Amino acid sequence: MLAGTIAWIVHQAVFEPGTASAWPWLGLAFLAVITRHGLQALRDWAGQQLAFRVRGDLRERMVATAARIGPVHLAHRGHSGAWASRYQEQVDALGGYYARYLPALGLALAVPLVLLAAAFTQDWVAALLLLFSAPLIPVFMALIGMGSQQIHEAQQDRQNRLAGHFLDRVRNLDLLRRSLALDAATDEVAEAAQGYRRLSMRVLRVAFLSSAVMEFFSAVAIGLVAIYVGFALLGFLDFGPAGQMTLFSGLFVLLLAPEYFQPLRQFAQSYHDRASAVAAAEALAPLLREPPLPQSEPEPLPAGAAPTLLRLERVSLHYDPDGPPALDDLTLSVAPGEDIAIVGPSGSGKSTLLALCAGFIRPSAGSLALAEPARHFAWMGQRAHLFHGNLRDNLLLGAPPETGDRELIAALGAAGLRVDDPTLPKGLDTPIGEGNRGLSGGQAQRVALARALLSDSRLWLLDEPTSALDPETENDLLSRVLEHARQRGVTILLATHHAAVYGRMRRVVRLDQGRLREDGDV
């Protein structure tokens, strides 16, 4: 419309000056400009909205998948740095597909067809020139596109590895410093970053190349149309409609030509959005297609005559369907208030048994039944996992929301940590860094015990909670664990291979290669 009105105004001005006012036509041109920009803004807004929704939905599904497969399997599905990079960058990479590529694709299909039809009404030779130059573009684009996707995949894979690599080095900075390996680690990170940079430059090169190809062909085609119109107007051509070309029809076709290529150019520019989105989608798809866990929820255990908190019935568990079982035909019954040591050499299935009782993994065969109180458990591992924040936030995790500072301080005291200890300069407000920074290993375990006390759980699952501590701290912490658990009637399942630890427990279950070797009261 804009091209038509401009062509008409020029035509009128040149051939019939003064016969008609140009104002209505200028008004029409103005309206066309406004409509055009309004529609473009609407298209951008709709694209962004769509991208926003898709990204939000995808992130929700990733979190749900992570929760569904649980911590044990998750740890084996890649490094946490790679997870973070997928969650952030790769989900973002999908946004470009919806925000830019899809709208550009729609326009690239529709707009040239409409403009072609408009050009045909004025001059079929010029329209044919446009028609035949357009298909060259997708052909060359496809050739470039084939290579670009592989480069995008390699780039994203490298990005994930770089994220994991960097996170590992940062987490273990103190270890690297102590072992004087800091320079080597710095070089390694720099090398990995250079590799990533090189790949990113290749991605950009391909993006520029595809735009340049597009620009070249559209410039050639527009040039051809311009030459044709010029010669026709000068009267050098007398075939087909060229003889009857007027200034209006010539100008109209010439003004349409760049518009005809504009959506195709935009399409070419957004083409690398598609390549990066497809590569990201291929990395994300397996996560979202994680098969459901092999078995349903643990069965409830009715409160019967013989009180049982937890019962495993001929349970087997395979991490790898073709490998040896981590637990093999295990039958075990636990009564409320028992304290049980699970002992056995490394790899005998102790952690697996605890993870099973926690519901982090499900048995491959056999059944697990839990009484209601066992569904609310506290967990302590070798190293307490404290979150970045302050001591109060970390204690409140899992505690009832109305818990006050007095109760927090009492629980810390019961775990053997005084809140006025000089190492906790701000008491409950003492900041705790990532990886428990600011606390010693023993203090962190005491915080974990305080957390267990505050959570009021009836079942404590303890996976070698004292193995990283010195004997004195180990002894003290264990005494406190047993004292509080017995006072409160809490059931303890504690994995250990330390005689000093299991010697203090009332029942010892011995595992060997996933099988029950011995189960006895001490």
CA distance 464 to 382: 5
Rg (CA), the chain: 35
Interface mask (CB under 6 A) for ligand ADP, residues 264-303, using x and -?
----------------------------------------
User: Tokens 């599905």 map to which residue?
Assistant: 77
One of 47, 263, 344, 381 touching ligand ADP (CB under 6 A): 344
What's the min distance (Å) between Cβ of 479 and ligand ADP?
24
- Backbone CA torsion sign across 389, 390, 391, 394: negative
Please say whether the dihedral angle defined by the alpha carbons of residues 285, 288, 292 and 293, taken in this order, is positive or negative: positive
Closest to ligand ADP by CB, 274 vs 350, is 350
Pick from 346, 402, 404, 520: which binds ligand ADP (CB under 6 A)?
Answer: 346
Contact status, residue 44 vs residue 285, Cβ threshold 8 Å = no
Q: State both tokens at 206.
A: 């391909």
352 binds ligand ADP, rule: CB under 6 A: yes
Taking residues 33 to 72 in sequence order and writing x for each that binds ligand ADP by CB under 6 A, - otherwise, the string is ---------------------------------------x
Residues numbered 168-187 forming contacts with ligand ADP, rule: CB under 6 A: none
Cα-based distances in Å from 391 to 420, 423, 441, 480: 13, 12, 15, 20
Name which position in 351, 445, 455, 491 contacts ligand ADP (CB under 6 A): 351
As beta bridge partners, residue 512 has: 515
For ligand ADP, which residue of 24, 38, 230, 347 counts as binding (CB under 6 A)?
347
Among 274, 350, 451, 510, binds ligand ADP (CB under 6 A): 350
Residue 273 to residue 145: CA distance in whole angstroms: 11
CB environment 470-496: b (16+ within 10 A), e (fewer): eeebbebbbebbbebbeeeebbbbbbb
Residue that is written with structure tokens 């060359």 in the block = 140
Applying CB under 6 A, does 348 fall inside the site for ligand ADP?
yes
Kindly identify the residues of this chain, within the stretch 319-338, that bind ligand ADP according to CB under 6 A. 319, 326
Which residues within the stretch 495-514 sit at the binding site for ligand ADP (CB under 6 A)? Answer: 495
Amino acid identity for residue 522 in this structure? V
Judged by beta carbon, residue 72 or residue 369, the one nearer ligand ADP is: 72
Binding-site member from 18, 21, 76, 401 for ligand ADP (CB under 6 A): 76
Q: How far is the CB of 209 from ligand ADP (least distance, A)?
A: 44
CA angle 245–249–254, rounded 5-degree value: 110
At 57, which amino acid appears?
Answer: D
The conformational region for residue 49 under phi > 0 = left, psi -120 to 50 = alpha, else beta, is alpha
Q: Which is nearer to ligand ADP, 270 or 348 (CB)?
A: 348
Give backbone dihedrals phi and psi of 342, rounded to 5 degrees, phi first: -105, 115
Strand partners, 510: 343, 518
Q: What is the DSSP letter of 494?
A: E
Residues 6+ apart with CB under 8 A from 250: 123, 229, 232, 233
Closest to ligand ADP by CB, 65 vs 430, is 65
In terms of CB distance, is 296 or 346 closer to ligand ADP? 346
Q: Return d(Cα 264, Cα 140) in angstroms, integer.
A: 12
Q: Rounded to 5, what percent of the chain is helix, strand, coil?
A: 65, 10, 25
The site map against ligand ADP for 369-398 (x = CB under 6 A) is ------------------------------
Q: Which of residues 442-501 bind ligand ADP (CB under 6 A)?
A: 495
Please state the closest distance from residue 421 (CB atom) to ligand ADP, in A: 33
How many residues form the binding site for ligand ADP (CB under 6 A)? 13
Q: Which is nearer to ligand ADP, 352 or 445 (CB)?
A: 352
Stretch that binds ligand ADP, among 339-347, 362-370, 412-420, 469-477 (CB under 6 A): 339-347
Helix (H, G, I), strand (E, B) or coil at 439: coil
Q: Give CA–CA dist 297/214, Å, rounded.
A: 57
Please tell me whether residue 156 binds ligand ADP under the rule CB under 6 A: no
**From the CB of 511, what's the least distance to ligand ADP, in Å?**
7
Taking the C-alpha atoms of residue 40 and residue 52, their distance in angstroms, rounded to an integer, is 18
Query: Smallest distance, Å, CB 352 to ligand ADP?
Result: 3
Taking CB under 6 A as the binding criterion, the range among 54-62, 207-215, 345-353, 377-385 that sits at the site for ligand ADP is: 345-353
Least CB distance to ligand ADP at residue 316 (A) = 12
Contact residues for ligand ADP (CB under 6 A)?
72, 76, 319, 326, 344, 346-352, 495
